Structure 1
């Protein structure tokens, strides 16, 4: 069997954590999906050891316009936010993804008292960045994909994504 070539690889790069603050149900839309706006005004974005450019930023604004498919099997993430680096620069960050709505995930979005942290494996997505800091411009010119999870804790909910840089293959068939 011939080994497949030309596929990209992934390099661990960034961990983002946003804290859910308020929930604003919008209701059923024209396409039958149900939308809820989740405010995520605080959190952190931080590069992992070994990833360059290295940086840390605090989330100062964020919200997810999350929609749920009519069959309740998937959720559609549409998170937008602003973070400030420790050097004072702003980062516009965006996250679009899909959540497999397993029973454990439904418990969280239904605010079931028995809800608990949902592990990685239910949410995947893509991330984009707009930055003013010249040292972080590579973020704008790169592609990032992620796994996500929802942490349930005494202060509420935190959405965590672990993002990897997509590295283009140089191997040809």
Structure 2
């Protein structure tokens, strides 16, 4: 029997993506009042979690985030696009759109403050999509993924990590 709680999708843990921040190119304030900064993401990995199918591991070989900061300073908008290549040599076009709540610890990172530190999951959420030619990976192209993100501060710089879950449609009909 359908209830007000039925019909909602569930989530299945699927992927962990890590992209390393490279060049930082501030664009400045644009027509809508947002401040845009282009962050290169030239390296990283995309890997499925244990038990998720289709299983694969890929290395990021190009990427960039056109990150826009809202005029009120409370949120930033992720617009990341990238290319990765699987261990079998197949390319994956990946996209990530999301929102970051600009808490003080997050602001320190984007302002490159000396006391910046890794921030936990809970400040950024997003949606991911993939375009692939490899028939073995078509399931990721034909699925919806949502994520939590965090920024890792380390001796070599910054890494953005997202943990993505596949959205599974509800089986109960209302």
Structural mapping, 1:1-173, within 5 Å: 4-173=5-174
CA distance in structure 2 between the partners assigned to 1:48 and 1:111 by the alignment: 32
Q: Which portions of structure 1, spanning 4 or more consecutive aligned residues, are displaced by more than 3 angstroms?
A: none
CA distance in structure 2 between the partners assigned to 1:51 and 1:44 by the alignment: 16
Where do 5+ consecutive residues of structure 2 fail to align?
Answer: none
Q: How far does residue 132 in structure 1 lie from its aligned partner after superposition?
A: 1.3
CA distance in structure 1 between the partners assigned to 2:14 and 2:91 by the alignment: 19
Give the TM-score normalised by the residue count of structure 2.
0.98
CA distance in structure 2 between the partners assigned to 1:72 and 1:25 by the alignment: 16
Query: Per-residue displacement from partner, 1:105-159 (whole Å, max 9, x unpaired)?
Result: 0000000000000100000000000011110001110000000000000000000
CA distance in structure 2 between the partners assigned to 1:44 and 1:172 by the alignment: 38
SS at match of 1:136: helix
CA distance in structure 1 between the partners assigned to 2:136 and 2:63 by the alignment: 23
Q: How far does residue 3 in structure 1 lie from its aligned partner after superposition?
A: 5.3
CA distance in structure 1 between the partners assigned to 2:24 and 2:5 by the alignment: 45
Where do 5+ consecutive residues of structure 1 fail to align?
Answer: none
What is the aligned-residue RMSD (CA, Å)?
0.7
Q: Which has the higher strand share?
A: 1
CA distance in structure 2 between the partners assigned to 1:162 and 1:139 by the alignment: 15
Residues paired across the two proteins, number? 172
